[in-house]
Amino acid sequence: MKILSASTILSALVISVVASTAMAANPNGPKPKCPMGQLPVLENGTYHCEDAKLKSNTAPTKHSTAAPKRLKATFALPDYKIMGAKRKMGTTATFIVQVRNMGVGPAPKGVLFGQHYLKNNQSWGADAIIPALAPGKSQNVTITIPPENYTRGDRLIFTADYFKQLVESNENNNTYGMSYK
C-alpha cells in the first residue's frame, strides 16, 4: 500500500510539473485547432480562429490601383576594354596599349598581358600593371614583350584582366590583336 501511495504522489507531481512547464512556455493557453481556411490568432492574451487574410500596416494611397513598377537590379561593375595598341616610337618590343573602363563602377588595379606570336606559332609573353580606373576613364599602359626577334607580320595579342580576377559587366571585350609593323 505504501508503494502505491508513493507512486500516485510521484505521478501527480510529475504531471503538475509538466503542466506548469507547458503553461510557462505558452501563458496564453493552447492554440485552438481551427477549421480549414482559418488560422489561430492571438489578440489580447487569448487565441481565436480567423479567416486567412493579409493585413497591411499602412493605409492604402489614392493611386493604389496601378501595379507597382518593377525595377531591374543594377550593379556598378567595371569593364576593361582595350581601345588600341601601337609600337612605341624608336623601340622594337615596347608597346603602348590604351585601356578604358567602359563600366559604371570603378576598376581596381589590374593586369595587362601581352603575347608575341612568331610565324612558326612560338609565343612569348609579358605583363604590365593597369592602374585603377574610374568609370569612363582611360590610361595608356606601356608593356615590353621580349625577346626582340620581331619580324613584319608577327601577331600580337593584348588582354586586360588576363587572369579573370575582376568581375566585369562585359568579359568579351578584354582582348585586342594586331600585326607587327
Per-residue pLDDT of 4-45, as tens digits, reads 677 777 777 777 766 666 555 566 667 778 888 888 888 887
Whole-structure pTM value: 0.59
Q: DSSP of the chain, one letter per residue?
A: -HHHHHHHHHHHHHHHHHHHHHHHH-TT-PPP-PPTTEEEEEETTEEEEEE-----SSPPPTTTTSPPPPPPP------EEEEEEEEPTT-SSEEEEEEEE-SSS-B-SEEEEEEEE-TTS-EEEEEEEEPPB-TT-EEEEEEE-S-----TT-EEEEEETTT--S--S-TTS-EEEEE--
In the chain, the domains with their CATH numbers are 2-51 (no CATH), 80-179 (2.60.40.10)
What is the per-residue pLDDT across 80-104, written as a single tens digit (0 to 9) for each? Answer: 999 999 999 999 999 999 999 999 9
